[in-house]
Structure 1
Amino acid sequence: MKYFLLLGVMGIMSCASQPSKRDFERDQVKDIVIGKTTQRQVYDVFGEPIYYGSRGDDESWWMYVHTVSRNSESLSLYFDKEGRVKDVLYSPFRKSLSEKMQAKR
């Protein structure tokens, strides 16, 4: 019985979102050079990505998300088959979506 309880707790905990180790310094994001910066360099600066995957054999992607209270930001990186940055999407969100929508009224 204790074994199943432990498995259940571990399963629930693995579903919880895990924040990245720190927020993104804009200068660090600006230092990423398309076609030059490697996955290893990104990992050394930003750590383990929250999400990652691949599209076929020639592209992979990593995503970092940092959230504190109602402020969040995301960093998505796409890599070519050689492991070099192909594209970068950085989105600093400083207001919740509902606050942004209310401001447009």
Structure 2
Amino acid sequence: MRLSRSLASATVAVALVLSLACEAMPHARVDTGESPGRPFGAACRIRVTGSEVTAYCHNPYPDPDRVRLHIECARWWDLDTDTSPVEAGPAQTVRLTGRCWKEVGSVWISHRRAD
């Protein structure tokens, strides 16, 4: 009986340490090649309605951001979509759209500094 209690306590302690370590890990960021003190990157909202995808990206920073919409369709025969880069200038909002024939599998936005 004591062995199972000590094993349960050790398991809880290990789970707590691992959960704290996961929270301390850095999150993915846009690699700009510059010093980390300069903010960059448009904030994007994505809406999926059936098979259609609409994204609005607003750039609050002074440096332009070239954003692209990437759509991966759920069906193997359905063509995935990558839009052309659209430049979101300072204080500008851009709209990106795309679609699948059937269901949408996943959607994401990529960012790149404008040249």
Same fold, TM-score > 0.5, yes or no? no
Larger radius of gyration: 2
- The answer to which structure has the higher helix fraction is 1
- Which structure's relative contact order is higher, taking Cα pairs within 8 Å and 6+ residues apart? 2
Normalised to the residue count of structure 1, the TM-score between the two structures is 0.31
- The answer to which structure has the higher strand fraction is 2
Normalised to the residue count of structure 2, the TM-score between the two structures is 0.29
